[in-house]
Each structure stands twice: as structure tokens, then as C-alpha cells.
Copies of this chain bind each other. A is one copy, B any other.
Amino acid sequence: MAIKMIGVGIAGYGYWGPNLARNFTNQPDCSLVAIYDINPTRIAVAKKHYPHAEITADYSRLLANDSVRAILISTPVSTHYALAKQALLAGKDVLIEKPMTQTVPEAAELIRIAKENKCILAIDHTFIFTGAVQKIKQIVDSGELGSILYVDSVRVNLGLFQKDINVISDLAPHDLSIVSHVFGKKPVMVQAMGGCHTQNGLESMAYLHVEYDYNLIAHFHLSWVSPVKIRRTMIAGDRKMLVYDDLESSEKVKVYDRSVSIRSDDSEMIYNTIIDYRIGDMVAPWINQREALDAEAEHFLSCVRNRARPMIDGSAGMEVVRIIEAAKTSLKNNGSRVAVEYGE
């Protein structure tokens, strides 16, 4: 018996939509049934690329189309909530581009509706599906790094300015989702400082400081106004340390057998603190080069087929929104400490 094809519709054929289209089309058990966009130029491009699909500026056509089993939402953030809600209410499974929504209540409502309608709700935190992040999680889970001293992440480049969200909403979801996934700890306190260089009041550079439970500290430098592009995350453990440089072509993850061990003897003299440095080999483990979105598409379709919980579900998406919301509050209050609320 042949495997039944899963039909998907795409909402938003701008920057990310074509990547979704290409990767879902490549899946053996999936067909791209319809594409929605309101921009005539993008509609024309979609028609050229996918002449057999229904290309429409009317979202309700996707909702009404029985061949559309799942809707992939890659529109501006401000529309995520409304489009996802309609899709879920129409019984469609949904994959939403990051960040999931603009507010925590919106995210919570989508989770509730998905549950009530028994729909799959997944959030597109693509980096989780890279070979690099999977390897990092495996290394952290193994305990090889020892206790984590801190995480430092830099994601900066020149542009692209987003017009409706600040740089934290735009870039931080990548790093926040990586830290959440790799360490599995809850954020408890957030501080954010930033700078705005346009008249729209949206920060184009920011520093985000997050304290998670169990003493995990992570710091994020996010910028659209850096002359050089940097994508680097450092995880300092008390036994080994790891650097993840996403711009390295072959050695993205490096594990340094380096540590500082501080021993204190019994005396009270501060000068008797003994500090040992240990510097050993560096290993850059082999990393699976598979395109992340290809793995993610396969996983999402498998969840749709088997009615399984996605690895990155609504609550994972909501946690990122929660931190961003706290960061916005901190930004407004000059970098004050803001507790992450778990009111619901």
C-alpha cells in the first residue's frame, strides 16, 4: 500500500517561503498544494516556480481546500497569530516561522486551540535541526563539559533591518531556542540593553542577559549594525569548553579540553587559593551536513502522519516569546531586571 501524500499550503512567499516550498516539495510523501501571498510580485514568482499549485491572495482558499492538510506560516510576525488561529480552527496542522507570536497570551491561545482541535502545532526553530546543534546537545547531555559556567552568543551582521520588530525579536529566537533545547532549563530573569538608530523606535542592536534556573547564565549580542558577520556561541564548562561557529564551513563545533580548576586549601588566606590550568587537545567532531529544513520538514510530516508531538511544539515557541516579552519590558526600563512570568 502506498503512503498517502500529505498536502501542504504555504502562507507567505517572501524570504523564507520559497525555502519551505523547496524543502517540503522534496519530501517523498508531500505535495505543495497551495501558496498564499498578498503581494502581486511574489504571487507571480510563486506561479513561475510552482505552476501546478494554487497561487492565491485569498487565505480562505487554503482553509477551504481539503487537500491542504497542513499550513506553513511564513508571513510577518504580526500576522502569525491571526493566520494560525484560523488554520487551527479549520482543523489544519500548523507550522509557524519564528518567533511564534508577538505576545505570550497569543501563543497560549494558539496552544489551547491546537489542543482542543487535536491539531499539530509546531514552531519553525530551524537551527534545532542542524547537525551542529544536534551534536552540541549530545555533547552537553553526555556531561563531557562538566558544570556550565556560562554561555556567550554573538549573532551580528549588517542589516537586514526588519520594519515591524526589533533586533531581539528577529535574531534572538535562533539563539534562545538553541539554549533552551540544548540545556532544557527555564529562563527566570532577563535584562536587555539596546540602541535604536531609526525613527521607528525599534532597537537595531541589543544585549540580552538571561538567567535560567540552576544557575545557567547566557548572554546574547544581537545586531543589525555590525560591519562583520559573526555567528558564534561559546559554552564554557568547568571541564571542557565548546565553541560553535556557524560560519565555519567544515569545523563548526570545536570542543576544547581546557579548564580551570580552583582548589582552596584550609587556610583563610586568599593567596593560598590554588588555580590549575589544564590545556589538552581540541576536537572538532564530524557534523552531519544535511540541510536543517529538510530534516525539519521530514519531522513535521512524520508528526502530521503519526499525530505525534513535534520536537519544537507550541510551548517551546511560547518560551521564546516569553523571553522576548520580558526583554522588551527591560529595554523600556533601561535594562532593569525583569522576572520571566509563568502566570498561565
Known: A227-B256, A281-B284, A282-B251. A198 touches B236 (CB 8 A): no
Contact A262 B205 (CB under 8 A): no
Q: Which of B152, B207, B282 contacts A209 (CB 8 A)?
A: B207
The reply on A277 being an interface residue by CB < 8 A is yes
Q: In whole angstroms, what is the CA distance A251 to B198 when docked? A: 28
The reply on A150 being an interface residue by CB < 8 A is yes
Contact A221 B284 (CB under 8 A): no
**Interface magnitude class on chain A:** 35 or more
Residues of B within 8 A of A228 (CB): 234, 243, 250, 256
In chain A, positions 154-195 with a C-beta closer than 8 Å to chain B are 156, 158-159, 161, 163-164, 191, 193, 195
Q: Give the contact stretch, choosing among A29-37, A104-112, A331-339.
A: A331-339
Q: In whole angstroms, what is the CA distance A164 to B158 when docked? A: 41
Q: In whole angstroms, what is the CA distance A260 to B157 when docked? A: 11
In chain A, positions 233-280 with a C-beta closer than 8 Å to chain B are 234, 236, 238, 241-243, 247, 249-251, 254, 256-258, 260, 262, 264, 270-271, 273, 275, 277, 279-280
Q: In whole angstroms, what is the CA distance A161 to B264 when docked? A: 14
- Shortest Cβ gap from A42 to chain B (Å): 15
Contact B199 A226 (CB under 8 A): no
- Shortest Cβ gap from A343 to chain B (Å): 22
Contact A150 B205 (CB under 8 A): yes
The reply on A53 being an interface residue by CB < 8 A is no
Nearest residue in B to A258 (C-beta to C-beta)? B227
The reply on A83 being an interface residue by CB < 8 A is no
* 16 residue pairs bridging A and B, Cβ less than 8 Å apart: A159-B275, A164-B270, A198-B273, A199-B273, A223-B236, A224-B260, A225-B241, A226-B236, A226-B241, A227-B243, A227-B256, A228-B234, A279-B286, A281-B285, A335-B335, A335-B337
Q: State the A residues within 8 Å of B (CB).
A: 149-150, 152, 156, 158-159, 161, 163-164, 191, 193, 195, 197-200, 204-205, 207, 209, 217, 219, 221, 223-229, 234, 236, 238, 241-243, 247, 249-251, 254, 256-258, 260, 262, 264, 270-271, 273, 275, 277, 279-286, 334-337
Given contacts A228-B243, A228-B256, A335-B337, 17 further A-B contacts (CB under 8 A): A149-B195, A152-B223, A159-B277, A191-B193, A191-B335, A198-B273, A198-B275, A199-B264, A200-B264, A205-B236, A227-B242, A227-B254, A228-B234, A250-B282, A257-B286, A280-B286, A283-B284
